[in-house]
Amino acid sequence: MFQLDSHYYDLFGVVFFTALYSAVLLLSPYYRKMSAKPKKAYFAFVLAFAIEMHGIPFSMLLISWLFNKSLPLGFLWGHTLFPYIGHWGMYINIALALIALLIISNGWRNIYKHYWSKPAGQGTLVTSGIYRYIRHPQYTGLFLLSLGMLIEWVTLPLLLMFPIIIVMYTRLADREEKDMVKEFGDEYIQYRKRTKRFIPFVW
C-alpha cells in the first residue's frame, strides 16, 4: 500500500531526538514542584515527533488502514508542508529551537540566581533578564520548540497534542501566578500589569 522511506525504523534517531528535545525539561523546574502533567504532555509530544519521524509513521499506517488506500507523500504524516515551503520547515524548526533555548536558558539562569538557590521564603521576585518582558519564559520556550517540530513534521498526533500542551501550560501558569500573588502580594500584581505572560508585548 505504501513504501516507507529509509529513515524509518531508526532506533538511534528516535532516542537521539527524544533526548535532545526533552533535555530542556531539566531547565524548567516547576514552582513548588506542581503537577507534572504538563511536563509529561510535552515529553509525549517529543516522543510522538521522534517516533513518527524516525520510527514508525503511526498516523500514516492508521489512515491507510482506515481508508484502505495509499496516501500521498506527506499527507499529515511527515513533510506535509514541503510542497509549499520546501526545506524551510526544517530551517524554521532550527531557528525556533535556538530562540527557545536562549529564552529558556536566560529564564533559568535568572530564576535560579534570585529564587531557586535561596532558602525557602528568602527568594526575591525575579524581574531581570527575559523576566522583564514575560513571566513564563520556560513555557514560552516549550511552545516554540513544539511549534518548530510541528512545522517541520506535521502529523495528526502532533496536531492534536499541540493545543493540549498550550492549554495545560496556560492553566499551570494560572496556578503559579496565584501562588506568586500570595507570596509577593502587590509587588507581583504590579509586575504582572507591566509584563506579558508568554509573548513579549503581545500575550
Q: Record the pTM.
A: 0.84
According to CATH, what is the number of the domain 11-193?
1.20.120
One pLDDT digit (tens) per residue for the chain, 203 residues: 444 455 667 778 789 999 999 988 887 765 555 567 888 899 999 988 888 887 666 666 666 666 666 666 566 777 778 888 889 999 999 999 999 999 999 999 998 888 877 776 677 899 999 999 999 999 999 999 999 999 998 888 899 999 999 999 999 999 999 989 999 999 999 999 999 999 998 75
Q: How many angstroms separate the Cα of 162 from the Cα of each of 10, 46, 144, 195? A: 24, 11, 11, 25
Residue 122 corresponds to which cell in the numbers above? 528568602
| SS3 of the chain | CCCCCCCCCCHHHHHHHHHHHHHHHHHCCCHHHCCCHHHHHHHHHHHHHHHHHHCCCHHHHHHHHHHCCCCCCCCCEECCCHHHHCCHHHHHHHHHHHHHHHHHHHHHHHHHHHHHCCCCCCCCCCCCHHHHCECCHHHHHHHHHHHHHHHHCEEHHHHHHHHHHHHHHHHHHHHHHHHHHHHHCHHHHHHHHCCECCCCCCC
Map out the domains of the chain as residue ranges: 11-193
